[in-house]
Amino acid sequence: MYALRCTQRLLRKLDCRDAPDDTAPSTTALGDWFVREYNFGRYRLLLCTSSVSLLTVLIPARNLPQMGIRLAAAVRELLVSMGVPLAQIDSEIAAMGSARIARTNSRSVLGSMNDMTYLADAYLDGAVIPDGILAAELRMAEAPCGPIGYRAPRDIVLALLGEAR
């Protein structure tokens, strides 16, 4: 169980204006996921960032009530590409099986998400969407982030989920 911490604008689109400021702990290693809208040209995407590692994935913004399912699939694809052991990936994705909608609760993560939008703009420039999304996510995972001691999200994820063999 984890929280999909959506921005106010996204909560309005989900018709969840009264979503709680949920403080229940997450059962996933990567923690809660913060979600905001991200538009790249004519593509409508959601930028999703892990609260623990600042790992960021991009998913299509269609069918918003099913975003948790698409998020888990995108996280799985990214973790496989990063070389995380499959047993750890399966455990994390299983823990992501149940999500609850909540409000954002960290300005630090929201600020990092703003930085990630600039990186996504640069890394997706000239890329064919949706094929270029994974490459952009991998590059964003290498970017040092201030809130995690100027370490890369990839390093945090590998520390949490185990190094590749």
> What would the pLDDT profile of 4-42 be if each residue is shown by its tens digit?
999 999 999 998 877 777 678 899 999 999 999 999 999
Q: Which segments within 51-142 are labelled E, that is strand?
A: 56-60, 99-103
> What would the pLDDT profile of 68-95 be if each residue is shown by its tens digit?
999 999 999 999 999 999 999 999 999 9
For residue 37, give the 3-state DSSP assignment. Answer: strand
pLDDT classification of 164: cutoffs 50, 70, 90: very low
Among candidates 53, 71, 43, which has minimal Cα distance to 157? Answer: 53
Task: Report DSSP state, residue 127.
Answer: P
Sign of CA dihedral 25, 45, 152, 83: positive
Q: Calculate the average pLDDT of the chain.
A: 93
Report the pLDDT value the prediction gives residue 33, as an integer from 0 to 100. Answer: 97
Task: Report DSSP state, residue 145.
Answer: B
Domains in the chain with CATH codes: 2-161 (3.30.420)
pLDDT classification of 163: cutoffs 50, 70, 90: low
pTM greater than 0.75: yes
Q: At what angle do helices 67-82 and 86-95 cross, to 10 degrees?
A: 160
Residue type, 69: I
Residues 98-117 have a mean pLDDT of: 95
